[in-house]
């Protein structure tokens, strides 16, 4: 399951006054409301769209999906950050082995940095 769903599962599975059926009914009602104001909106949307997966995760356990990471590549170099006003890069033939390479959680952020540096955003 996605990380945000895993966090919701952990919270409710550890609660002594919540059962799975009540949770599904409550979240389905919430999903169809127009005034959704909740910090768990993304997780509840996922739950309503994937009830079988949520139930299996609740009953059988689950693994959290690794969130995609993005890196900035300029030519054959990977972006590592800034030192004063100079961009720092490293050449890496095995992506993921070098901890100095910045890994962005968001493709949009990586794309913005890549555009400023004249490079591309790639999945790590």
Q: What is the pLDDT of residues 115-124, one digit of tens each?
A: 999 999 998 8
CA angle 41–42–47, rounded 5-degree value: 95
Residue 43 burial by CB count (10 A; 0-12/13-18/19+): exposed, middle or buried? buried
pLDDT score of 120:
95
Q: What is the pLDDT of residues 63-104, one digit of tens each?
A: 998 877 899 999 989 999 999 889 999 887 666 567 888 989
Global pTM exceeds 0.75: no
pLDDT score of 69:
87
Q: Which token pair is 54?
A: 């949520």
Q: What is the pLDDT of residues 10-25, one digit of tens each?
A: 888 888 887 887 777 7
Q: What is the pLDDT of residues 30-71, one digit of tens each?
A: 666 656 566 677 787 888 788 889 889 988 999 998 877 899
| Ranges of each domain in the chain | 3-60, 70-123
The DSSP code for 95 is T
Cα(24)–Cα(59) distance, rounded to whole angstroms? 13
């Amino acid at each position: 399951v996605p990380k945000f769903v895993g966090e919701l599962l952990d919270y409710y599975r550890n609660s002594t006054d919540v059962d799975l059926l009540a949770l599904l009914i409550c979240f389905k009602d919430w999903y169809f409301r127009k005034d959704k104001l909740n910090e768990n909106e993304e997780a509840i949307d996922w739950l309503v769209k994937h009830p079988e997966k949520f139930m299996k995760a609740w009953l059988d356990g689950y693994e959290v999906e690794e969130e995609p990471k993005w890196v900035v590549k300029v030519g054959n170099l990977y972006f590592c950050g800034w030192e004063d006003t100079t961009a720092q890069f490293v050449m890496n033939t095995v992506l993921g082995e070098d901890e100095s390479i910045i890994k962005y959680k968001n493709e949009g952020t990586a794309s913005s940095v890549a555009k400023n540096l004249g490079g591309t955003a790639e999945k790590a």
